[in-house]
Structure formats: structure tokens, C-alpha cells
Structure 1
Amino acid sequence: MHEVVQHLSEYAEHLEKGWKVETTDGEVKLVMMSPNLPHTTNVDAFRNQIREQTPDISAVNDTDMTDPVTGLEKVPDLIAFPTEDVDPQAESVNPRAVLLVIEIVSKSNPKNDLVTKLEDYPRMGIPLYVVVDPRNGTIAVHSEPKEGPDGLRYRSSIPYAFGDVVPAGKWTFNTSGLVRYR
């Protein structure tokens, strides 16, 4: 499957708009990457706070993440990892080195962030998953991945609203400047 993803990724690079390839349980998806201004503004707000609070942590957006254990491939909106734990010349980041993933829910495909990635990220070793939903002004912090009857899932999910101060792992996010979709 990795070869199929490689081939599709090369194809996606030549398409008119930004397309990326993601996988979930044997399924390969070609995902359109066309963030709007509220989406990008929200990503920047979180990235800036990560960099201010933890200068030794890299915070990058729209970067391929490939899990050698599950074979899953994702392109998160924002990931944070210890700079020294990732090869800056690598084609993809190993999610087992990632401390935090933040996804800004898209208007066109909210299920991908709210359901699919909520199931896949704990399986990929992501300890902390923050979902920001500009459609309704909510934030959910998912943590404590644990094996259960339905497989590996986040045991803790804490809801917040835009404007709240949101603790997430080693970070505390001021969300008063987040932007909602119209």
C-alpha cells in the first residue's frame, strides 16, 4: 500500500490545487488541501503559542506523517515534536515522535477530523489530539490513549469553547483570538 500512496502522492503534486494522500484501514484517500483564511488564521494562532511556550519544540503545518507501525498516512493541520527527534530532511514525520496534533475542522469534510482521525491518531501513537471546530466555536482536547474493547482510543476528551484558556499537555492555549467560519 505504501507504493500506491507514493505513486498517488507524486500524482497529487501535479494537480491544480493542493492535494495530499491519506490512508485509513486499507483505504487510500486523495484529500484536497485548500484551507480558507479562518482555517489558516487558527493554525497560526496555535503554532505561534507553541513556539512562544516551547522554543525547543518544532511546530509545523501540512506536513506528511507516516506511521511505520500501522502504515497509516496523514497530513495534519499542525504537529508539534521535539526538534532533535525528527530528521529535517525526511520526506515524512514519524508520528511516534509527535507530542501534539491539532486539526481545524474543515467545512467540507468534518467527519475526517471528528471521526476518522479521532480513531486513527491514538493508533498512530499520538498522545494528544486537539480538534478545533470553527463551525460552532468548540475545541476538544483528546488524551490518554488506552487499549479498550474497541481498540486503542483516547480515554479523556475535554470540551472547551472559543475564548477559553485551554490546557493541553505542556501547553496552555489562549483561544480568544480564534476565528469562526461564517
Structure 2
Amino acid sequence: MTAAMVGNDRTSEGRPWDYLLRTWRELDVPEGWRAEIDEERIVLLPPPHAHHNGIAEMVQHRLYRVLPEGLGIYQTLGIHVAPLDRLYVPDLVIMERELIMAADPETSDPMDAAEAQLIVEVTSKGNARDDRTKKYRAYARAGVPMYLLIDRFDTRGAMATLFTEPNEDGTYKHSDPVPFGKPLVLPEPFGTTLLTDEFPV
């Protein structure tokens, strides 16, 4: 992971978030890379490994079979965690299609994380800790009802964990961890079982 530190002039630019968001909009990010805003800095994330993309595609394929009417699955969608002024680009975001279509076509502003129904992160070796800690807390603070963390680098072995029932303190009340090879139930509105036995490690 490569961090691009972006300075800010609080007196002329207003809040650091406003300056960082304006800078984020104007970035010319190399193809395949992602730019996120975390702790008052812009972070550039390199393209993930093929196995990372393979897992994301398998999850997306499974969800498309059961996706309720009106919801869409989005890759490379910037989402704003308003309570923390952070901007992340998850591997998958499930959100109402109507919200996406209503977005201002003249800007590339992120969507509100609170509107997501499910967020999926697949860890890479360089950012696994952030997905387990920072993003876990951020998605809970934003009120994202379900956070699916697929962690190939968990010290217990490769795991898929579904976190549900977010608290305002930045935690989830429930977690359902399963090792790769075991099924993971995704509750309504999806009502399906995610098969992890084919996930590459």
C-alpha cells in the first residue's frame, strides 16, 4: 500500500475534509489503483492480486442470483463515512440502484456509506489490518447493516466473517466467522448461503 500525504491549509481551504475531497476528485489515479481518504490523508491502493479479484467475482456472482429488486452491486464505488470524514472504495457495495441513478452526473462525489445494505472487503496482504480494524469500525459507525470481511490472511487461517447489527460505538453486535471451506449464511434481504470452498487462498 502506498500513502500519498496531502497537506492542507485550514485557513484558506476550510475543513480538511473539504480540501481532501476536492483533491480526491481531481486525482489522476493509475488504472486499477484506488484512492481513499483516511485519517486526513489520501491513500493510494495498488491493484489487488488475481485471487483477490477472483473471490470478489465469486461473491458478486452468488449475490446476483438472489439480489432483491431495486438493489445493485457496485465495484470501485467511493463511499463517505460521514461520522469520521473518511472515504473508502470497497470491493463490493450493495446499494439501492435508485440512489446511484440519482447521483449528480457532473461530480464524482462518493455515496453515503449509511445507504449501503452490504459492504464486502477482501483483504490484501498489505491492507488486511485496515480491513479488520479501521474499516470494521468505520462501517459500524456509519450504520452499514452488514459487513462481509473475507480475510485470506487471518492468523487462524483463511476466514470469511459476516458482521451484523452495527453499534454507534464502532462495533458490530454479532459476528459469524467461518473458515474457507465452510458455508456462510447471508440473511435477508439476500437469504442465501455463500460457499467458500472454492475461494483461492
TM-score, normalising length from structure 1? 0.85
Matches within 5 A, 1:93-132: 93-132=111-150
**1:69-92, Cα deviation, whole Å (9 max, x unpaired):** 542211111111122233364432
Look up the match of 2:43. 30
Do the aligned residues in 2 keep the contact of 1:66 with 1:74 (CA within 8 Å)? yes
Matches within 5 A, 1:128-147: 128-135=146-153, 136-147=157-168
Question: Does residue 165 of the first structure (1) align with residue 183 of the second (2)?
Answer: yes
Q: Structure 1 pair 33/124, CA: closer, same or farther in 2 (3 Å)? A: farther
**Equivalents in 1 of 2:50, 2:32: separation in Å?**
16
**1:35-87, Cα deviation, whole Å (9 max, x unpaired):** 11000001101111111111522111121001345422111111111222333
2:78 to 58, 64, 68: 64
Q: Which structure is larger by alpha-carbon Rg, 1 or 2?
A: 2
**Equivalents in 2 of 1:126, 1:55: separation in Å?**
17
**Equivalents in 2 of 1:19, 1:45: separation in Å?**
21
Look up the match of 1:49. 62
Q: Structure 1 pair 79/17, CA: closer, same or farther in 2 (3 Å)? A: closer
Q: Structure 1 pair 59/106, CA: closer, same or farther in 2 (3 Å)? A: same
Do the aligned residues in 1 keep the contact of 2:81 with 2:138 (CA within 8 Å)? no
Structure 2 runs not aligned, ≥5 long: 1-15
Secondary structure of 2:20's aligned partner: helix
What is the percent sequence identity of the aligned residues? 19
Q: Is the deviation greater in 10-19 or in 152-161?
A: 10-19
Secondary structure of 1:163's aligned partner: coil
Do the aligned residues in 1 keep the contact of 2:49 with 2:124 (CA within 8 Å)? no
Do the aligned residues in 2 keep the contact of 1:8 with 1:21 (CA within 8 Å)? no
Q: Structure 1 pair 118/69, CA: closer, same or farther in 2 (3 Å)? A: closer
Question: Does residue 175 of the first structure (1) align with residue 196 of the second (2)?
Answer: yes
Say what the alpha-carbon RMSD is for the aligned residues. Answer: 2.1
